[in-house]
Structure 1
Amino acid sequence: MALSRRTMVAILTAGSLSLVSVGVPALAQPTPAFSPLVASVVPGLDRAVRTGSLPGSQSVSVAVSLKLRNQSELDRLLADQAAGRAKYLTPQQFRDRFGPTQADVNRVTDYLRSRGLKVTGVSANRLAVDATGTADQLNAAFNTSLARWHDAGLGRDFTAADSTPKVPTTLSAVVSGVTGLDEHYVPQRRTAEVSGPKVGSGPGGGYTPSELRSAYGLAGLEADGSGQTLALFEYGKFDQANIDTFDHQYNLPTSPPVVKNIDGGNTDGDSAQAEVELDIEVAHAIAPKADLVVYTAPNTTSAEVDMWNALVADNVPVVSSSWGLCEYDRSLASMQAVDAVAKQAAAQGMTFFAPSGDAGAYDCERDANTQHAGDLAVDFPGSNPYVTSVGGTKLTLNTDGTRASETTWNQGGGWAGGGGQSMVFDKPLWQGGDGKRQVPDVSAAASGGEYSVYIQGAWGRNGGTSAASPLWAAYLTLINQRAGVLGKLRIGQLNPKLYALAGAAVNDVTVGDNRFYQAGAGFDMASGWGTPNGITLCDALLG
């Protein structure tokens, strides 16, 4: 079953629990009434072929997402924080005010255990309950059936529920969705295809760290990331020897990243190694003395939720992700689960960056989604209002290394900076409050080949909005360092502050398009507000 654009909304129908008449001996436990978790419907099954039922003994892991409490109060708090009228919360304060109660968690865990599932963990904020069980046990617990599927367009096999998952109606007011039963589409890295002539003086022909810092006026910040923590959200591993080669080439005073494995860490070998190494090296280029933490997990929807929850539990000031999917390829339940945690991140004063995508205004193209390849679409999680979406530009330098010009990134062949209008999230008040959320919020160099990096044993050029995202995250890390020196709070929610400035302190990008949307003065859906502007934006944000 697949949801159309018009029906992509979570509906939990109400019902009543069946009762056994008083005085009549019960021969068996009554069967509870179930309510469908419509938001957990797997997208795109109509384009796949069911190849058979999943063996009943096969083990499957899921994350059951629970609903926030006091959501209207939370929305008011977030608005007050954005306006500087309220302090940031600690993870414990957020849990106690807005997380599910322990009693609600107990109801969910008791039910899962009653169906034979093993509860493997509960997130610190109580928003997710992790469990494992056999396919037969999960089928019974969620009143569905797990099957094997093949998508010829994607060229891959996957597991998914072939009917809408359900929970007992008595839990429908607590449970928002379940992830882990849907592995049709998995997040993709947003790295560009190398194209065009060499642009910088690096060994691979891309820009060096000093050229990038010069282009965006970062010397004026007099900051290097000392005393700050920057986290990278990853689905892969890296080879420290490659990072060392990069750092030594540019005399960067860095230390090895700390690795935090979520749900056992990533087990996909080196398939995503290039992305992780790119992200680390871009972060080192901009904020070389920041403490870098690489969070890595299996590329599954349940592990994604767990990684978000781990980040907010650690209250990391700045986070960068280089992974995403177009909104058509996500179940609404998975986006709702992330949205709840993104609100917690904002309430705690965390800043989260994500790429806008590398297919211009047609984000599903890069996911090989043939049905929606020609549709206007945007990338999630960047489309979430509590995430800063980072688009792409083509950067040109003067001979002295200063910024000469920037245009929106559109290098042909379908490669361009993502941007457009969400079909899921409403436009927040700071963006106008009428219609749907628009992205990107900002941009940075992304054109294929603008970064000189050492990846998987060789020097080369790389780019994409997955390079622009850690660049912005490292830049904000420098601003947070300066905030500390001045005795001020870290930036926290960037978007409301950025939009309040109305483009006054960034490098506006006014030339080019992203295959549909045209750049122009001020905000546009090709480049957002613009690119980093060193001390100017820093002072405006801290003023």
Structure 2
Amino acid sequence: MIFPLIPFVVVATLALSTVASPIFEYAVKHSWATTPLGWEHHGTPAPDHPIDLRIGLRQDKIDDLIDALYRVSDPFHSDYGQHLSKSEVESLVAPHPTTLSIVHEWLESHGIDLSSVSYSPAQDWLSFRIPIATAEEMLSAKYHTFRHTESDELVVRTLSYSLPKQLLAHIDVIQPTTMFDRMNKMRTNYILDTSGSSATTIDPGLTVKGPAGQDIPLSCNTTVTPYCLQLLYGTAGYVPQAADKGNKIGIAGYLEQFVNFEDLQLFFSQFRPDAERANVTVVSVDGGLNNQSVPGVEANLDCQYTEGLTYPTPNIYYTTPGTAPTINDSVTPPQRDEPYLDWLNYILSQEDIPQTYTTSYGGDEQTFPMDWAVRVCGMFAQLGARGGSVMFSSGDGGVGAGTCQTNDGTNRTLFQPVFPATCPFVTGVGATYQIAPEKGVYFSQGGFSVYFPRPAYQNMAVPPFLQKVGTTYTGLFNPAGRAVPDVSALGLGFQVVVGGAVESVGGTSASSPTFAGIVSLLNDQRIASGKPPLGFLNPMLYSIGVSGFTDILLGNNPGCNTSGFNATEGWDAVTGLGTPNFQVLKSILG
């Protein structure tokens, strides 16, 4: 079975605007009809204010890269598992020489010294610092400072930017321009548990039967620990063997979320005693910090549960700045590039990378400019082609967070899926709760992308669900879109040590590291036996992997003044394919 290429949608709105150069005729690349919801005009930056411009050049052989990704990710293909090297990926995403030539000519026409330009290893990203006035001239744009009405965060952005028509076929995206998304932590519950109690031994009088007939402490219905997850998903008793053979798991951290080492040791002492004195490796990306005086609930949750499930597998926490540093003045904040780009560019520039990743952050898909989302999605494809399995929380808004209204000026009601979970090259993870039986939890965000079409690997699983939905929500979602989530795991009642105390935390931010931990153990088994890591998971999950999941039949995800979708037999937009059975998956993939 060969999964065909998913076509990328190219955004190029050719509405003519004022000619900004005697050499080039300009056309609008991206614009917002109105100021994005939640933001308001705050001021105008000084013309000499510096801005770090980043240009994503059209990648000459991106279609070949995606085709290769599907070949190495299809368990029925002879190339399955033959992942590409860093240099092979870079050769496919490098721009055509003509692209570099015409873009260089454009930069020089605006007085930019090419010696000041920095390049990504594949030369598909250019970056340089220029005054705001120069950026406005180059992009036929007007920059302003905008304030977020809830957080007071200030950003310098434009509501519209243009490119020379001759460059539209050579440039995918330029930032910072029209990106107003505020990355969210995928966490819904934040409940202090003063008792700190947990069930770490089986009491025959207080157990329930798991999906495989295993005895699980009744307390795991509401109080989740690594022991509960090991029993429920079948990893209990499995001892990782490939820690010295290169198997690693990576956790992406943003928004000044810092993992606390003392909290990690307290967590181990209470919930995973054999892991005491183990630690997580912290890697700084673009100057990211890890302030030990400010323990982060999200960072602690992610690291305590990935390590709680995968010890002694090396865990790497990547701390990437996700918010602007100190404000310089009342109207002009310093700039940060979008942190997804910073993290992806860093990871893709490394020779030795983890095989498994989890990220507990995201935002409503419509808040990302489409050209930006498509380009970033393609970077996840690069990571998958190199053998990386990438998990993202599917979101905590049911079928839609916020106002559930479109931001295109029409204010239509629309279910809002979360990006990057909607990218077809990552695995979106929804949430369940309780264990006898597991149910889809109300906040488990699921639905259908507007930006990305349904990938071929979902063509068997998704249509039966759509038939069950029928016309109930006609017009509220895109039935032809990429469907999320792909899979699920428990996401409520996780016991997390924060600042020395145990707190009960929930959200798909708990589900994603849990599922990633299980994937890392599957990679461990394969690497230990001399096989390649799993890489991009979805083609395998939706084919030979289906039998390795417990189908979740109960629960729904209300939102947008509706009861949302229902969990049902087969794939559904609450829990995806269901929750993992490690023993079955290990047998299938061994």
Q: TM-score range by the shorter chain?
A: 0.7 to 0.9
Residue 308 of structure 1 pairs with residue 344 of structure 2: yes
For the 8 Å contact 1:451–1:461, the answer to whether it is kept is yes
Query: Residue 243 of structure 1 corresponds to which residue in structure 2?
Result: 264
**Corresponding residue of 2:579:** 531
Q: Does 1:432 align with 2:459?
A: yes
Distance 2:34 2:276 in 1: 46
SS of structure 2 residue aligned to 1:156: coil
Correspondence for 1:442: 487
User: Closer, same or farther in 2 for the Cα pair 1:209/1:367, shift >3 Å?
Assistant: farther
Pick which of 288-297 and 309-318 moved more.
Answer: 309-318
For 1:376, what is the secondary structure of its paired residue?
coil
> 1:324-363 residue pairs with structure 2 within 5 A?
324-363=362-401
Instruction: Kindly indicate whether residue 447 of structure 2 is the aligned counterpart of residue 420 of structure 1.
Output: yes
Contact residue 206 and residue 462 of structure 1 kept, 8 A: no
1:52 to 30, 43, 51: 43
Q: Which AA in structure 1 matches 2:268?
A: D
- Among candidates 155, 158, 163, match of residue 162 of structure 1: 158
2:64 paired residue number? 73
TM-superposed deviation, 1:427 = 0.6
Distance verdict in 2 for CA 1:199–1:247, change over 3 Å: closer
Q: Residues 451 and 458 from structure 1, CA distance in 2 versus in 1: closer, same or farther, beyond 3 angstroms? A: same
User: Do the aligned partners of residues 458 and 345 (structure 1) sit closer, same or farther apart at CA in structure 2, a change above 3 Å counting?
Assistant: same
**1:173: which partner in 2?**
169
- SS of residue paired to 1:293: strand
**Contact 1:224–1:288 (CA under 8 A) maintained in structure 2:** no
Alignment deviations for residues 121-146 of structure 1 (CA, whole Å, 9 cap, x no partner)? 32223332222233223222322111
Structure 1 residues 242 and 482: alpha-carbon distance in aligned structure 2, compared to 1, 3 A threshold: same
**1:231 is the counterpart of 2:250:** yes
Alignment equivalent of 1:385, drawn from 406, 419, 424 = 424
Q: Measured at CA, do residues 443 and 372 of structure 1 come closer, stay the same or move farther in structure 2, by a change above 3 Å?
A: farther
Give distance in 1, aligned partners of 2:131 and 2:278: 43
Greater shift in the superposed pair: 303-312 or 527-536? 303-312
Task: Decide which moves more: 237-246 or 518-527.
Answer: 237-246
Letter in 1 for 2:434: L
Output the amino acid matched with 2:288. G
Match of 2:550 among 501, 504, 507: 507
| Aligned equivalent of 2:495, options 431, 452, 461 | 452
Amino acid at match of 2:396: D
Cα separation, 2, equivalents of 1:459 and 1:490:
35
Cα 1:176/1:419, change in 2 over 3 Å: same
Question: 2:542 aligns to what SS in structure 1?
Answer: helix
**Count of equivalent residues:** 507
Q: Partner of 2:439 in structure 1?
A: 407
Q: Secondary structure at the match of 2:24?
A: coil
Letter in 2 for 1:472: F
Q: 1:283·1:470 contact (CA, 8 Å) conserved in 2? A: yes
Change beyond 3 A, Cα 1:224–1:517: farther
C-alpha separation in 2, matches of 1:271 and 1:10: 41
**RMSD, aligned α-carbons:** 3.4
SS at match of 2:91: helix
The CA deviation string for residues 37-57 of structure 1, in whole angstroms up to 9 with x for no partner, is 22x659843764323322223
Q: Is the 8 A contact 1:65 1:176 kept in 2?
A: yes
Q: Is the 8 A contact 1:14 1:35 kept in 2?
A: yes
- Measured in 2, the distance between the counterparts of 1:336 and 1:54 equals 29
Give 1:342 shift.
1.4
Q: What amino acid is the match of 1:390?
A: V
Maintained 8 Å contact 2:196/2:502: no
SS of 1:501's equivalent in the other structure is coil
Identity of aligned residues (%): 21
Q: Which amino acid aligns with 1:431?
A: Q
Alignment of 1:76-155 (within 5 A): 76-83=67-74, 84-86=77-79, 87-101=82-96, 104-105=99-100, 108=103, 111-112=106-107, 114-116=110-112, 119=116, 121-152=118-149, 154-155=150-151
Q: What secondary structure is seen at the aligned counterpart in 1 of 2:495?
A: strand
CA 1:137–1:260 in 2, change beyond 3 Å: closer, same or farther?
farther
Of 53-62 and 349-358, more deviation after overlay is shown by: 53-62
Amino acid in structure 2 at the alignment position of 1:277: N
Is residue 61 from structure 1 mapped to residue 52 from structure 2 by the alignment? yes
Partner of residue 26, structure 1: none
Partner AA of 1:408 in structure 2: G
Q: Secondary structure at the match of 1:215?
A: helix
How far, CA to CA, are the matches of 2:242 and 2:184 in structure 1?
Answer: 29
TM-score, scaled to structure 2: 0.78
- Cα distance in structure 2, aligned partners of 1:67 and 1:340: 11
Q: Which of these residues, 25, 28, 44, is aligned with residue 33 of structure 1?
A: 25
Alpha-carbon shift at residue 105 of structure 1 (Å)? 4.3
Secondary structure at the aligned position of 1:85 is classed as coil
1:322 paired residue among 360, 372, 377: 360
Residue segments in structure 2 that go unaligned for 5+ positions in a row: 1-8, 201-218, 323-335, 464-479, 559-563
CA distance in 1 between partners of 2:349 and 2:361 (Å): 21
State whether residues 265 and 276 of structure 2, in contact with CA within 8 Å, keep that contact through their aligned partners in structure 1: no
- Which of residues 514, 524, 545 is equivalent to 1:481? 524
TM-superposed CA distance for 1:263, in Å, is 2.3
Query: In the alignment, which residue of structure 2 is the partner of 1:498?
Result: 541
Deviation at 1:437, TM superposition (A): 0.6
Whether the 8 Å contact between 2:53 and 2:175 is mirrored in structure 1 is: yes
Q: Tell whether the 8 Å contact from 1:393 to 1:527 is kept in structure 2 after alignment.
A: yes
Q: Which residue of 1 aligns with 2:183?
A: 187
Pairwise CA distance, 1:367: 12
Cα offset for 1:519? Answer: 0.6
Check the 8 A contact 1:231/1:295 in 2, yes or no: yes
Q: Deviations over 1:13-64 (max 9, x none)?
A: 499xx9xxxxxxxxxx9443233322x6598437643233222232322321
Q: Using the alignment, how far apart are the partners of 2:367 and 2:525 within structure 1?
A: 40
Structure 1 residue runs of 5 or longer lacking an equivalent are 1-7, 19-28, 397-403, 411-415
Moved more, 229-238 or 64-73: 64-73
Say which SS state the counterpart of residue 543 (structure 2) adopts: helix
- What TM-score do you get using the length of structure 1 for normalisation? 0.84
CA contact (8 A) 2:357 2:516 kept: yes
Any idea what SS the aligned residue of 2:189 has? coil
The verdict on how the C-alpha distance between 1:174 and 1:64 changes in structure 2, with shifts beyond 3 A counting, is same
Counterparts of 1:366 and 1:192, CA distance in 2 = 18
- Cα deviation for residue 269 of structure 1 reads 10
Amino acid aligned to 2:439: T
- What displacement does 1:475 show? 0.9
CA contact (8 A) 1:480 1:490 kept: yes
Out of 318, 321, 330, the position equivalent to 1:295 is 318
Deviation at 1:100, TM superposition (A): 1.7
Distance 1:211 1:302 in 2: 37
Structure 2: distance between partners of 1:268 and 1:94: 35
Other-structure match for 1:21 = none
> Kindly tell me: are residues 304 and 432 of structure 1, through their superposed partners in 2, closer, same or farther at Cα, counting changes over 3 Å?
same
